Amino acid sequence: MTFRFEGRQVEARPGDTYASALYRAGQRIFSRSFKYHRPRGLLCMDGKCPNCLMNVDGVPNVRTCVTAARDGAEVRAQNAYPSLETDLLSAAQHFDWLMPAGWYYKTFTHPMVWRFVEPHIRRVAGLGEAGAAPDHRYEHAWMHTQTAVIGAGWAGLTAALEAAERGEEVVIADDQPEPGGQSRYRGEPAAGLIEKVRSTSSIRLLQGCTCFGLYEGNLLGLVRPAPHAGAAEQLIHLRARRVVIATGAYETPLLFPNNDLVGVMLSTAALRLMRMHGLAPGRRAAIAGEGARAAEVDGALREAGVAVAATVAPKDVLGASGSGAVTAIRTRSGDVSCDLIVVCGPLVPNAGMAAQAGARMVWRADPGAFVPEDLPAGVTVAGAAAGDVAHTGDHTPAGGKRSFVCLCSDVTSEDMRRAIAEGFDHIETLKRYTTATMGPCQGRMCQLSAAAVCARETGRGMGETGVTTSRPPNPGVTLGALAGPRHHPVRRTPMHEAHEALGAVWMDMGDWKRPRQYGPSIADEYRAVRERAGLIDVSTLGKLSVRGPDAGKLLDKVYTHRFSDLKPGRVRYALLCDESGVILDDGTISRLDGERYFITTTTGNLDFVHQWLDWHLIGTGWDVRITNVTAGYGAMNVAGPRARDLLAKLTGEDLSTAAFPYMSCRESDVAGAPSVLLRIGFVGETGWEIHTPAELAEGVWTRLLEAGREFGAAPFGVEAQRLLRLEKRHVIIGVDTDALTSPYEAGLGWAVRLDKEDFVGKRALTRAARNAGPERLVGFTLNGPGVPDDGSAVVLEGRIAGRVTSCRHSPHRQAAIGLAWVPAASAMEGARIQIRVQGVPIDATVTLQPFYDPEGSRLRQ
């Protein structure tokens, strides 16, 4: 197995991570630091620190120390110019006195200067670049279990077996390639326990699976890399009745000058390299530690063939020497040369997840750790995460230059001290000002040292100082995993294929695909409707069937017009308002017979209107059934002077105005399909809206087009329809109206019946009828060239006084026409306003009449 690293081939053994394979190949520098570009080597080998972040196959910030190596992968270093070994920007560290924490806030205070400097700072400081990664596929999965255990160490495996013995379903998520936790490198084999877990059928073990957050309702966010061929990552939403946090403890660095040099390594990292990967971490080591842990490391180092030059108690360590890599450890009793300093640092219970669940983090002097208390019901913490860690001794952080508290963003104890002196003496403000605990490690490496420095400088205790808040996601998650697969639902009308064959240009309307136009010329489609006949697919209209003896009562209560007195076979415009008198939706309501009404809603508001009707039915005791029949019907509108001749060829229904007048409806066959026909006229011509069973709609559409050929009929799209309706000054709710529009302002007051008994919005509408808002929606004709964009400003006496909501060039008027909001005083026939067209105010004339056929005679022919 080989992968490429910076252009050269690196061999990997089974069980290797990228970092262990690189270490075996002699690589010692794994990254360059954020600000000073100091070389950094392996520190934690546990996926907790920022030192080994690299770009793997185009994905930045991959924790290479815990990511299993894959054959053929392409691995690149980050934030180094030109290479990890020779990074020219490392010169920055010699100017660190110029750049203490927060220096750019104080230096580049002028906005213009900041604008110039910011891109340069961003280029130099950084954590890799987001790649386009077009080949990466991300998935989401959902799982449920009775008990979820995070961590497959001793505590986690034991908790899982206990739950399984109680008869519960268990899921264990562990972020390491193999289960066992610290037993994998501490020589306390957990093989028996692992075997027992593996042979228990009610336990599911998810290995290499990172838990990044515990959310409300015991929802766990897990990321599983490469769940199967073809998927880069899978985000699992795991819901559990009970969560056991068994995430163990991790080791953190000691504070001493040059504690970030390559070759300074945590003792657990050294043990992992030796026991899990068979690597000698160095040739000549010094141990900064004492007691049992130092002895354990000492034994392991000697066993691996590493000479141990000295074991120094942390309080006696003065610093590390070396430029880039360690050459010696400086102690109170003199310097000792070495190429490896193994640090036995404080063990921190990994209880961030418990804090996310709402636990309080309380300082315990023994063992010298913040431990979780007051856990919510359903969440428990087990093992080292609960504070069951060995006492690591009280270490007072050594001061001095280049003692790095935060490795992620290069914050030293000196930076912290200065920030505290400047007044940022609370751990939370200190965090925000210095950015310590805010880097990719999210405070895991630095939280304890930051609290210790803060406590020492302020003279407060650790308990009083406290820790910063733990928030998910921790560790970081790729945006791709969170975003998941690119699924966008698409709704197609029953006539979709027919439109495709006609060369439709598509537009999106919510989830729907609608033909915007068919040919290059919207004018041709317009002329077909005005002069001959046109056919448009209106299947996307919301369609509701409202049935029952009390259906009329419900519609009277909810809509502004009266519908209980609507005669069977008649259609009425329907306006829906809320209790504040704001227009929510409009459409038509047809009474098919005594107890059956058929409602159309606008395309986007169907679900809302349906829920609104349902809600208003609650508690009334009325006998009404509301059914959404939108998908059950295809709908089309045939309109134009020859529409009657055309439709007459396909139906036996008498279409004469005497038998089938404007605003009436019939149930009848069209081209053999049982249909509902509404004689209405959105586009201002004689026309019928035909609702026909979805499975027959394409056939009806095709037959209508064939029947229309002799009359020169043509299909028309949404754009022509918008122009045709604008000439009729018909309002589109949500385009020409907004979230405050009352019917009296939009010129729709005629659709409100204040004389009927109580209905939704009556109280507010009664008031609005007397005292409408200061603006009115009016029509206008532009007295000059050009067509203003929708949204252009209305100008009165040089000041903005309103806005255009819809505007098109009208072939009928040979001018730009539109709808606009203007002050009430200008809402008069013939009033003069100005509209800003590309920055220039152009005169326009207000009208309250339709631009086309103001008497509506063509509709009624």
**Which residues are near other proteins by CB under 8 A?**
215-217, 219, 239, 579-580, 607, 611, 614-615, 618-619, 758, 762-764
- Both tokens assigned to 647: 């439709």
> For other proteins, which is the closer residue by CB, 295 or 764?
764
At closest approach, how far in Å is the CB of 203 from other proteins? 23
- Both tokens assigned to 356: 């996310």
At closest approach, how far in Å is the CB of 286 from other proteins? 48
At closest approach, how far in Å is the CB of 23 from other proteins? 40
234 three-class SS: strand
> Cis omega before residue 475 (within 30°)?
yes
Contact present, 81 and 64 (Cβ < 8 Å): no
Give the β-pairing of 249-251 and 347-349. antiparallel
At closest approach, how far in Å is the CB of 583 from other proteins? 15
At closest approach, how far in Å is the CB of 558 from other proteins? 13
Cβ burial of 91 (10 Å; 0-12, 13-18, 19+) is: exposed
At closest approach, how far in Å is the CB of 324 from other proteins? 46
For the chain, give percent helix, strand, coil, nearest 5.
Answer: 25, 30, 45
> For other proteins, which is the closer residue by CB, 376 or 791?
376
> For other proteins, which is the closer residue by CB, 220 or 446?
220
> For other proteins, which is the closer residue by CB, 187 or 358?
358
Give the β-pairing of 815-823 and 673-678. unpaired
At closest approach, how far in Å is the CB of 549 from other proteins? 18
> For other proteins, which is the closer residue by CB, 426 or 616?
616
> For other proteins, which is the closer residue by CB, 352 or 581?
581
> For other proteins, which is the closer residue by CB, 470 or 721?
470
> For other proteins, which is the closer residue by CB, 11 or 579?
579
> For other proteins, which is the closer residue by CB, 482 or 764?
764
614: closest CA among 574, 558, 556, 541? 558
At closest approach, how far in Å is the CB of 783 from other proteins? 42
Number of helices followed by number of strands (H, E) in the chain? 23, 46
At closest approach, how far in Å is the CB of 768 from other proteins? 13
The span from the CA of 251 to the CA of 271, in Å, is 12
At closest approach, how far in Å is the CB of 360 from other proteins? 15
Write a three-state SS string for 694-753: HHHHHHHHHHHHHHHHHHCCEECCHHHHHHHHHHCCCCCCCCCCCCCCCCCCCCCHHHCC
644: closest CA among 438, 435, 860? 860
Residue 261 sits at the vertex; the CA angle it makes with 258 and 266, to the nearest 5 degrees, is 100
At closest approach, how far in Å is the CB of 210 from other proteins? 18
At closest approach, how far in Å is the CB of 607 from other proteins? 8
Residue where the block lists tokens 């027919």: 498
> For other proteins, which is the closer residue by CB, 124 or 219?
219
> For other proteins, which is the closer residue by CB, 40 or 610?
610
> For other proteins, which is the closer residue by CB, 315 or 767?
767
> For other proteins, which is the closer residue by CB, 204 or 756?
756
The span from the CA of 795 to the CA of 628, in Å, is 44
77: closest CA among 27, 118, 36, 119? 27
> For other proteins, which is the closer residue by CB, 530 or 762?
762
In DSSP notation, 504-556 reads PEEEEETTEEEEEESSS-HHHHHHHHHHS-EEEE-TTSEEEEEESTTHHHHHH
CB neighbour list of residue 369: distance below 8 Å, 6 or more residues apart: 249, 346, 347, 348, 349, 363, 387, 389, 448
At closest approach, how far in Å is the CB of 767 from other proteins? 9
> For other proteins, which is the closer residue by CB, 378 or 661?
378
- Both tokens assigned to 132: 């386009």
Write a three-state SS string for 261-327: CECEEEHHHHHHHHHHHCCCCCCEEEEECCHHHHHHHHHHHHHCCCEEEEEECHHHEEEEECCCECC
For 349, 517, 708, the CA distances from 532, given in Å and listed in that order, are 80, 18, 9
371 three-class SS: strand
> For other proteins, which is the closer residue by CB, 238 or 665?
238
> For other proteins, which is the closer residue by CB, 214 or 385?
214
Contact present, 819 and 731 (Cβ < 8 Å): yes
End-to-end CA distance of the chain: 82
At closest approach, how far in Å is the CB of 807 from other proteins? 34
Residue where the block lists tokens 């002069």: 531
182: phi > 0 → left, psi -120 to 50 → alpha, else beta; which? alpha
74: closest CA among 22, 1, 9? 9
For 318, 327, 761, the CA distances from 333, given in Å and listed in that order, are 10, 17, 87
At closest approach, how far in Å is the CB of 214 from other proteins? 10
> For other proteins, which is the closer residue by CB, 214 or 455?
214
CB neighbour list of residue 30: distance below 8 Å, 6 or more residues apart: 19, 22, 40, 41, 42, 51, 52, 54, 64, 77, 84
At closest approach, how far in Å is the CB of 491 from other proteins? 16
Contact present, 170 and 140 (Cβ < 8 Å): no
24: closest CA among 7, 37, 38, 5? 5
At closest approach, how far in Å is the CB of 796 from other proteins? 31
The sheet carrying 334-337 orders its strands as 317-321, 328-331, 334-337
Cβ burial of 417 (10 Å; 0-12, 13-18, 19+) is: middle
At closest approach, how far in Å is the CB of 609 from other proteins? 13
- Both tokens assigned to 722: 């918008």
